Each structure stands twice: as C-alpha cells, then as structure tokens.
Amino acid sequence: KNEVEQSPQNLTAQEGEFITINCSYSVGISALHWLQQHPGGGIVSLFMLSSGKKKHGRLIATINIQEKHSSLHITASHPRDSAVYICAVRGADGLTFGKGTHLIIQP
Amino acid sequence: EPEVTQTPSHQVTQMGQEVILRCVPISNHLYFYWYRQILGQKVEFLVSFYNNEISEKSEIFDDQFSVERPDGSNFTLKIRSTKLEDSAMYFCASSEAGYTEETQYFGPGTRLLVL
C-alpha cells in the first residue's frame, strides 16, 4: 500500500513569506492531487499533476516522478492561505491521502 | 459558478439506523465520488461511480454501504445499519473525466453523528 508522507505537519509563517509544503510517496503513481481544506472543513481542489509543474496564481505545484516527491509552493503568502493542505496520490492500490499540512499565515 | 451540493449538512442518527446522504454533482460531470473524514483524521476514499456503476471502491466500502444515482441529478450514499465508527464528515465530489484526467470538485460535506 502506498505510504504518503507530508512535511511539515504544521507550519506558521508571516504574511509575505514563501511557503513550501512537501509530499513523498512510496510506490509509483499515475497522478497526484493537491487539495486545500478550509477551517470550516470544505475541500477545494488546487492541482492535479502527473508530471512537471503547474502554476495557478500564487500557487505552484511540482512533481518529480523518479524521486516520488511533490512540492506545493505559495508565493507572497497571505492570512487567507491559512488552511490544511492535503496531498493525495493515485496508484495501483487506489487513492491514498496524506495527513495534511496545517498552515497558519500570521499578519 | 456551478458547484456540488450536499444535503443534509448535519445528521444525527441512532446506531443501527439507515441513513441516506445526498449529493447533487455538477450537471455535466460524469464521474462521482464519496469520501469520508473522521474527526481529526485524514480524508479516506470510499467509492467512485461512473456510467451507473461502481468503478472503484476501498476496503472501507463494505456491504453496509451502497451508492445510487436514482435520477439524472442526485447521487446518494446509503449506510444500511450505522455504527458508532461511521461518525464522520462525508464529502461528495464530481469530475468531468476520470480521476487521472480531471480535477474533482467537492461538496461542502455532511457531518454524520451516530449515537
């Protein structure tokens, strides 16, 4: 079964800082998903990646298939970015979620 | 902007009772999913549904669970005989194409509490 590890588990930063959240997995996958879970519980899909890099606004996601690793970057972070960021991978054994990274951006 | 809706937002039920959680996916989407998140734990995949049949299910999705698309708009999750450990937030999602091809759109969730 695929093991999905996210780091850090918790991250507190100041507004404007560049943020990096990491996701590693143990078994080859066909796709990786980054999700954002708001404090109220709602989930928003950010990116779906199978290779390379994607950018949307201040968010950038990269994936290295050989190293089984993905990163989510937030540039010019803002308090409204405060949320739990979840990595989910699609492999032969189905869809596996990470535990999430709890991000707090302080003004 | 189109969105996935779920009803009810909260449900409290007695152990052993049947519950039906309802979802209205985005109208032109063809793939539908249910996930759950037990309080304080990670999100878990339950089932995916396409072309009126289950395309994939996790080991959590045992015989007490069933899904149905009873009409052209609703997508339901039924739990036949609820257990205390079924207490969780249940999320529905939909996508235009299959998981590896397309972003999923999530509903706001139904918080189920089994007493």
Instruction: List the structure tokens of B66.
Output: 């069933």
Interface of chain B against chain A, CB under 8 Å? 37, 41-45, 56, 58, 89, 91, 93, 99-100, 102-106, 108-109, 111
Contact between B48 and B62 under an 8 Å Cβ cutoff? The reply is no
Contact B45 A43 (CB under 8 A): no
Shortest distance between the Cα of B58 and any Cα of chain A, in A, equals 7
Instruction: List the structure tokens of B68.
Output: 């149905």
User: Which residues of chain B does A44 touch, with a Cβ-Cβ cutoff of 8 Å?
Assistant: 106
Name B23's bridge partners: B6, B75
Shortest distance between the Cα of B2 and any Cα of chain A, in A, equals 14
The pLDDT value recorded for residue B100 is 56
Condensed to tens digits (0 to 9), the pLDDT of residues B1-52 reads: 779 999 999 999 999 999 999 999 999 898 999 999 999 999 999 999 998 9
Contact B104 A100 (CB under 8 A): no
Q: In whole angstroms, what is the distance from residue B69 CA to residue B49 CA?
A: 9
Shortest distance between the Cα of A78 and any Cα of chain B, in A, equals 23
Q: In whole angstroms, what is the distance from residue B35 CA to residue B67 CA?
A: 12
Q: In whole angstroms, what is the distance from residue A40 CA to residue A42 CA?
A: 6
Largest CA distance in chain B: 40
Contact B43 A41 (CB under 8 A): no
User: Considering only alpha carbons, which residue of chain B is nearest residue A44?
Assistant: B106
When CB atoms are compared, the residue of A37, A48, A99 closest to B103 is: A48
Largest CA distance in chain A: 42
- Show the low-confidence residues of chain A (pLDDT under 70): none
Contact A97 B43 (CB under 8 A): yes
Contact A88 B43 (CB under 8 A): yes
The pLDDT value recorded for residue B98 is 65
Of B74, B73, B63, B75, nearest to B35 (Cα)?
Answer: B75
When CB atoms are compared, the residue of B37, B45, B105 closest to A95 is: B45
The pLDDT value recorded for residue B15 is 97
Condensed to tens digits (0 to 9), the pLDDT of residues A83-107 reads: 999 999 988 777 889 999 999 999 9
A67 C-beta neighbours (distance < 10 Å), count: 8
The pLDDT value recorded for residue A37 is 94
The pLDDT value recorded for residue B73 is 85
Q: What is the 3-state secondary structure (H, E, C) of B35-95?
A: EEECCCCCEEEEEEEECCEEEEECCCCCCCEEEECCCCCCEEEEECCCCHHHCEEEEEEEE
Contact A97 B108 (CB under 8 A): no
Condensed to tens digits (0 to 9), the pLDDT of residues B57-109 reads: 999 999 999 999 988 789 999 999 999 999 999 999 998 876 555 678 899 99
